[in-house]
Chains A and B, each alone.
Chain A
């Protein structure tokens, strides 16, 4: 019917009307999705709280010495399994080491495993996903089935088989080796989720006119993938990564709990929980404190991911 774009070229408008039109436009100026999401995020308590917790945990992991002056491996058997006191806020573990200090020093390994395995998951998943989504057809079929193979492996069982294959029972692999193995096991077993998210996002982005236009103008696949597709598909994967980071910290604890993940002399929350497993009824504080740190950290990451996803999704408002 009427053509709204004709507004500025319309000779029939008198001067006064013209300026008023401009005024009303200025106020209606559309905000970009990004700045809108940021505005939305800042007023959410869940976002600020989780961000504060995450920053604190990162700080603890980077500079544990700031928070505790006690050597986490110093053990005094006389204090073994003593509960919390003014001396040792979180009590002592089965060896008589200070729990508070161990929880503080344990943050680094737990966070490291979480971060590295998430990077692994996202890098593998995103690459495979974007290739499957972009090329489609048989490449998509092959890669999707390949992802299904790993998705079909139950997570805990798969991790047990992998870790036990590479570390025969009774062997005592070094610190770096076991961390690498745990990180890789988690990444190998969880990348299909990231792949599916990336593939779905790519399929949508590929249909956008500017991508079709870029292809029509002769842009190569690498350029289209990295310059045009990536920026539009990265958001959902990053949201997943935040939540997965939390989940992977929990996975580290679970594997350690089963006795196949990290173990002494590495200090991690999972190792502490695993050490305390048999004393749960006599000395619950030994499980309680590391478990609380795991839970709160995971909670913070999941909450952050939730908040970001809600903010990015205009439909949820």
Chain B
């Protein structure tokens, strides 16, 4: 693969995954995923060819506004989409080379929890209110690991200790509503770790929490990820979090990955106007007193995606071509890719 910087005029269009996955089979790979929501009011194309991958031991942050399809992608990987209204219409999800979308329901169930586990945004509603936290952790160990009641309890308490819940023994028998927000999210993390998953998908794990607690939970997650050498998909819209923990970034807009690549490199030189806008909308101490940059306009309605580049109505750089032609994702070298007609110009900026 040529490592020259794409100049915008002569490069070939290469699907980004072929570039980035060159080093060997990734742990989890999503390729060209397409999902529609079929409702009475029409068909919403929620995912329009989403591709990303995660290797063991790395954290990939999936960034985007709400409604961009981050969570739907995660739910498709887990196989927990509500069908109807959601239908997978194309693409593939491979876990260690095995295609999941066509696997039997029983096989998919085996992968859940053991291969890929998931942490949800709001632990209060994601945990069953009528069972104790301990029960909800232990039930997987009993069902899947064949542990006895006592063994499962012991293992569950160990897990609670691993996520640094004080007095784990005592809290084993308590109900979710008796936990504080942060402790609840820790319990949720303990639950997801019960079957020793290889990939952990964290869907906005800190959104529902206080700012101070957010940092603790993120630290815990990245610590556990490193210790266990897991692959982690971190879904978030918090760019601050991303900068701290992500190895790579995938930026989503209107059901597409518009830019992906190494986190540091993207922060240093974003290759898509949307990423630029996202980064500019971060509050900065050195620009105190100035008006905050926001992205003008609304994300497009998914039942009515504008022709051409979906970002064009909000894009500062939009030209005629952007309103007629959908930009392909092009490799930029160093494992980076971007889907913009003017990536070349952006990358050549100083």
Q: Taking beta carbons and an 8 Å cutoff, which residues of A are in contact with B?
A: 1-4, 6-7, 10, 12-14, 16-17, 20-21, 24, 27-28
Offer 10 A-B interface pairs, CB within 8 angstroms, sorted by A.
A1-B65, A1-B281, A1-B295, A13-B313, A13-B314, A14-B318, A17-B312, A21-B297, A24-B304, A28-B301
A1 and B318 in contact, given A7-B296, A24-B304 (Cβ under 8 angstroms):
no
> Bound state CA distance, A16 and B323, in angstroms?
10
A2 and B294 in contact, given A14-B318, A28-B304 (Cβ under 8 angstroms):
yes
Q: Are A17 and B294 in contact (CB under 8 A)?
A: no
Which of chain B's residues 272-303 have a Cβ closer than 8 Å to chain A? 277-278, 281, 294-298, 300-301, 303
Contact mask for chain B residues 241-265; partner A; CB cutoff 8 A; 1 contact, 0 none: 0000000000000000000000000
Q: Taking beta carbons and an 8 Å cutoff, which residues of B are in contact with A?
A: 65, 237, 277-278, 281, 294-298, 300-301, 303-304, 306, 312-314, 316, 318, 323
Q: Are A24 and B297 in contact (CB under 8 A)?
A: no
Q: Are A21 and B313 in contact (CB under 8 A)?
A: yes
Question: How far in angstroms is the closest Cβ of chain A from B70?
Answer: 13
Question: How far in angstroms is the closest Cβ of chain A from B47?
Answer: 20
Q: Are A24 and B301 in contact (CB under 8 A)?
A: yes
In this complex, the member of A3, A4, A14, A17 whose beta carbon has the largest number of chain B beta carbons within 10 angstroms is A17
Q: Are B298 and A7 in contact (CB under 8 A)?
A: yes
Q: Are A17 and B300 in contact (CB under 8 A)?
A: no
Residues of B within 8 A of A13 (CB): 296-297, 313-314
Question: How far in angstroms is the closest Cβ of chain B from A316?
Answer: 13
Question: How far in angstroms is the closest Cβ of chain A from B44?
Answer: 11
Q: Are B296 and A6 in contact (CB under 8 A)?
A: yes
A3 and B294 in contact, given A12-B316, A13-B313, A17-B314 (Cβ under 8 angstroms):
yes
Among A3, A20, A27, contact of B313 (Cβ-Cβ < 8 Å) = A20
> Bound state CA distance, A20 and B303, in angstroms?
14
Residues of B within 8 A of A1 (CB): 65, 237, 278, 281, 294-295
Q: Besides A1-B65, A4-B298, A12-B316, 10 other CB < 8 A contacts? A: A1-B281, A2-B295, A3-B294, A10-B297, A13-B296, A17-B312, A17-B318, A21-B313, A24-B306, A28-B303
> Bound state CA distance, A4 and B314, in angstroms?
11
Residues of A within 8 A of B296 (CB): 2, 6-7, 10, 12-13
> Bound state CA distance, A12 and B294, in angstroms?
11
Q: A4 — nearest CB in chain B belongs to which residue?
A: B298
> Bound state CA distance, A28 and B312, in angstroms?
19
Q: B295 — nearest CB in chain A belongs to which residue?
A: A2
In this complex, the member of B237, B295, B306 whose beta carbon has the largest number of chain A beta carbons within 10 angstroms is B295
Q: B296 — nearest CB in chain A belongs to which residue?
A: A10
> Bound state CA distance, A4 and B281, in angstroms?
13
Residues of A within 8 A of B237 (CB): 1
Residues of A within 8 A of B281 (CB): 1-2
> Bound state CA distance, A21 and B323, in angstroms?
13
In this complex, the member of B281, B296, B303 whose beta carbon has the largest number of chain A beta carbons within 10 angstroms is B296
Q: A14 — nearest CB in chain B belongs to which residue?
A: B318
> Bound state CA distance, A145 and B294, in angstroms?
55
Residues of A within 8 A of B277 (CB): 2
Question: How far in angstroms is the closest Cβ of chain A from B172?
Answer: 35
Residues of A within 8 A of B295 (CB): 1-3
> Bound state CA distance, A6 and B295, in angstroms?
8
Q: B304 — nearest CB in chain A belongs to which residue?
A: A24
